[in-house]
């Protein structure tokens, strides 16, 4: 049976998996607006395709950070103080993207729309890149001392390993978003989205393989959880191959599920490799933050568990309902104000 510390580690992992799965296709669609759409009408169609979902999908990130703050305050404090600058840029990018969704249709001006379209693109590119850099830094190790203080320099955070992770996640989000576009659009836009997703599978495969190899040699996660991580890698390969197969067969819903599975398995692998640690110290393993020394008291965890299990069904029910209500495809003849 899971202890409360383990339970909350699992819940936080689930929240971040949900965020990357759901918001991942939002990020992908946001990036598509700059090079898949041929005109303003198609750009509006792409934005409208995620219009009912993007803000609710971001809640998973807020909830994950909130759960981290409540369940593992030492983890939260070390993380957010050490990664202050990347998180500020990610937050500003998310804010700019959200504002752009609402403002780009308020004026019929080319310069006006291009400005907000740029905000949508960079607001969809920067957050997955920066968050991937942060998560990759978790497993690579960071200079954390015995007082749980992180003193990371620029190259402790931005290096070959973390940059490869960032580019990989961005490209994975793009492919995931393209498959979401095939589910939400019709006609030529749908066909082009599917073809572009197929073309991007090869560079994405190369990046994923490179990241796995680098993880094997540059971190200790395979030493800690080698057998389980091997299973996850095999499942990821199977999901990736199936995504390509379903794309060629034009079974878009299955292909979307498989790209989502690759995303989910990738995030799951990070948390599996970390456990029972939450942040790894590159100074001394005795300074690692774990689910024990970074956690709140047992009474706090117990109260939080009761509240979370009470409210979670309502939150999930609402999201399932919203996806059901807005499941129809978006057509160019629809003029929604986005």
Q: What is the pLDDT of residue 85?
A: 92
Q: Is the pLDDT of residue 332 over 70?
A: no
Q: What is the pLDDT of residue 331?
A: 67
DSSP 239: H
Report pLDDT digits (tens) over 262-276: 999 999 999 999 999
Report pLDDT digits (tens) over 6-59: 999 999 999 999 999 999 999 999 999 998 999 999 999 999 999 888 888 898
**Which residues, in sequence order, are CB contacts of 265 under 8 Å at separation 6+?**
232, 235, 236, 239
Rounded to whole angstroms, the Cα distance separating 121 from 29 reads: 9
Q: Give the residue from 246, 275, 286 showing the smallest Cα distance to 262.
A: 246
Cis peptide bond N-terminal to 103, omega within 30? no
Confidence label for 327 from pLDDT (cuts 50, 70 and 90): low
Report CA Rg, the chain. Answer: 20
What DSSP string describes 102-157? HHTTSS--HHHHHHHHHHHHHHHHHHHHHHHHHHHHHHH-B-B-TTS-B---HHHH
Q: Is the pLDDT of residue 335 over 50?
A: no
Q: How many CB atoms lie within 10 A of CB 295?
A: 22
Q: What pTM does this model have?
A: 0.93
Q: How much of the chain, in percent, has pLDDT values that exceed 70?
A: 97
Residue 184: which H helix or E strand, with range? helix 160-184
Report pLDDT digits (tens) over 102-153: 898 888 888 999 999 999 999 999 999 999 999 999 999 999 999 999 998 8
Q: Is the pLDDT of residue 64 over 50?
A: yes
Helix %, strand %, coil % of the chain (to 5):
80, 5, 20
């Amino acid at each position: 049976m899971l202890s409360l510390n383990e339970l909350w580690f699992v819940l936080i992992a689930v929240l971040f998996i949900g965020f990357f799965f759901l918001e991942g296709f939002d990020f992908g669609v946001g990036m598509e607006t700059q090079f898949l759409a041929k005109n303003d009408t198609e750009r509006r169609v792409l934005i409208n395709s995620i219009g009912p979902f993007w803000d609710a999908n971001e809640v998973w990130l807020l909830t994950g950070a909130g759960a981290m703050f409540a369940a593992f305050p030492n983890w939260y404090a070390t993380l957010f103080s050490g990664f202050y600058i990347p998180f500020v840029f990610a937050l500003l990018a998310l804010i700019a993207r959200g504002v752009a969704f609402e403002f780009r249709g308020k004026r019929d001006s080319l310069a006006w729309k291009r400005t907000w379209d740029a905000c949508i693109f960079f607001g969809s590119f920067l957050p997955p890149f920066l968050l991937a850099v942060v998560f990759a830094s978790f497993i690579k190790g960071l200079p954390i001392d015995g007082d749980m203080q992180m003193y990371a320099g620029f190259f402790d955070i931005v290096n070959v390993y973390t940059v490869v992770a960032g580019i990989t996640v961005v490209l994975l989000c793009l492919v995931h978003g393209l498959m979401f576009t095939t589910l939400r659009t019709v006609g030529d836009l749908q066909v082009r989205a599917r073809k572009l997703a197929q073309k991007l599978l090869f560079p994405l495969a190369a990046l994923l393989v490179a990241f796995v190899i680098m993880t094997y040699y540059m971190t200790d996660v395979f030493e800690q959880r080698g057998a389980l991580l091997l299973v996850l890698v095999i499942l990821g390969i199977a999901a990736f191959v199936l995504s390509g197969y379903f794309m060629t067969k034009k079974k878009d819903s299955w292909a979307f599920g498989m790209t989502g599975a690759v995303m989910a398995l990738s995030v799951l692998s990070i948390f599996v490799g970390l456990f029972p640690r939450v942040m790894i110290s590159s100074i001394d393993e005795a300074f690692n933050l774990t689910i024990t020394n970074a956690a709140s008291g047992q009474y706090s965890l117990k109260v939080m568990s009761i509240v979370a299990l009470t409210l979670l069904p309502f939150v999930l029910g609402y999201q399932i309902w919203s996806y059901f209500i807005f499941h129809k495809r978006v057509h160019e003849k629809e003029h929604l104000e986005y």
